[in-house]
């Protein structure tokens, strides 16, 4: 009971539930193996967080840097472009599947009506075997039609709509990418200005303008 409450509390924390250390601690019952994992993680180079949180539709999302963050950032432009294209394609496919599923389900329901009439016709003429066969076939066609209709709706609702919601994050990704590029440009520009200034001072050979406060040997 208390362990369940602990896990539920952990899952409410965005930072804790994404912690690789916590996952390993819960999953690994061998102290030595866990200690080895901790030691290897200490040696891993994890980038420093430059952003504490990102704002999205649900509020503030804590930023948790991992060792793969640098790889993700290096491929971010390609990821964003492909992400938008593929999500739109899947959304359109889900919509198409739903439309065709509903059309096929309508055909199945129409068949059910005719097969049911055949069953009733055989019942009236006392052809019991034929009556039972068509009655069973009628139920099978109805069940299949309901399944097809529900499958189409599931694709549209739980896949298409789900991806459509996450597609709204595309603008946020673009904005973050622009912020990153802007910061890189500023750093590059200031670095160039600083190097140019250093080079100019070295050429002038006037130590008094270097801003150095110590003793010059």
Domain ranges of the chain: 73-194
Average the pLDDT over each of 54-58, 70-74, 90-94 and give the range with the smallest value.
Answer: 54-58
Instruction: State pLDDT tens for residues 2-22.
Output: 778 877 777 777 666 667 677
- 103, pLDDT greater than 60: yes
Higher-confidence residue: 147 or 183?
147
CA distance 39 to 33: 10
User: What mean pLDDT is predicted for residues 195-216?
Assistant: 71
Length of the chain equals 217
- 1, pLDDT greater than 60: yes
Beta bridge partners of 61: 54
Whole-number pLDDT of residue 48: 56
Whole-number pLDDT of residue 56: 56
Instruction: State pLDDT tens for residues 20-70.
Output: 677 777 777 777 777 777 777 666 555 555 555 555 555 666 666 666 667
Average the pLDDT over each of 17-26, 43-52, 77-86, 126-135 and give the range with the smallest value.
Answer: 43-52
- 75, pLDDT greater than 70: yes
Whole-number pLDDT of residue 140: 93
SS3 sequence, the chain? CHHHHHHHHHHCCHHHHCCHHHHHHHHCCCHHHHHHHHHHHHHCCCCCCCCCEEEECCEEEECCCCCCHHHHHHCHHHHHHHHHHHHHHHHHHHHHHHHHHHHHHHHHHHHHHHHHHHHHHHHHCCCHHHHHHHHHHHHHHHHHHHHHHHHHHHHHHHHHHHHHHHHCCHHHHHHHHHHHHHHHHHHHHHHHHHHHHHHHHHHHCCHHHCCCCCCCC
Whole-number pLDDT of residue 197: 83
The pLDDT mean for the chain works out to 79
- The model's confidence at residue 110, banded by pLDDT at 50, 70 and 90, is very high
Kindly provide the b/e burial profile for residues 143-162, where b requires at least 16 CB atoms within 10 angstroms of the residue's own CB.
Answer: ebbeebbeebeebbeebbee
- 169, pLDDT greater than 90: no
Instruction: State pLDDT tens for residues 178-205.
Output: 888 888 899 999 989 888 888 887 777 7
Whole-number pLDDT of residue 136: 93
- The model's confidence at residue 139, banded by pLDDT at 50, 70 and 90, is very high
Whole-number pLDDT of residue 98: 92
């Amino acid at each position: 009971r208390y362990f369940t409450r602990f896990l539920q509390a952990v899952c409410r924390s965005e930072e804790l539930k994404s912690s690789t250390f916590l996952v390993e601690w819960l999953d690994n019952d061998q102290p030595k193996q866990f200690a080895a994992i901790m030691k290897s993680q200490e040696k891993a180079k994890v980038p420093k967080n430059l952003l504490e949180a990102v704002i999205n539709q649900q509020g503030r999302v804590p930023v948790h840097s991992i060792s793969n963050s640098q790889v993700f950032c290096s491929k971010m432009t390609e990821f964003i472009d492909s992400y938008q294209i593929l999500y739109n394609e899947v959304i359109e496919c889900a919509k198409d599947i739903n439309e065709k599923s509903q059309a096929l389900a309508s055909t199945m329901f129409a068949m059910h009506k005719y097969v049911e009439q055949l069953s009733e016709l055989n019942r009236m003429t006392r052809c019991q075997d034929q009556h039972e066969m068509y009655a069973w076939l009628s139920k099978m066609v109805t069940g299949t039609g309901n399944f097809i209709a529900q499958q189409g709706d599931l694709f549209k609702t739980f896949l298409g709509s789900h991806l459509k919601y996450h597609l709204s994050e595309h603008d946020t990704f673009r904005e973050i990418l622009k912020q990153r590029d802007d910061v890189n440009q500023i750093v590059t520009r200031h670095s160039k200005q600083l190097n140019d200034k250093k080079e100019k001072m070295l050429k002038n050979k006037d130590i008094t303008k270097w801003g150095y406060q110590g003793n010059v040997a």
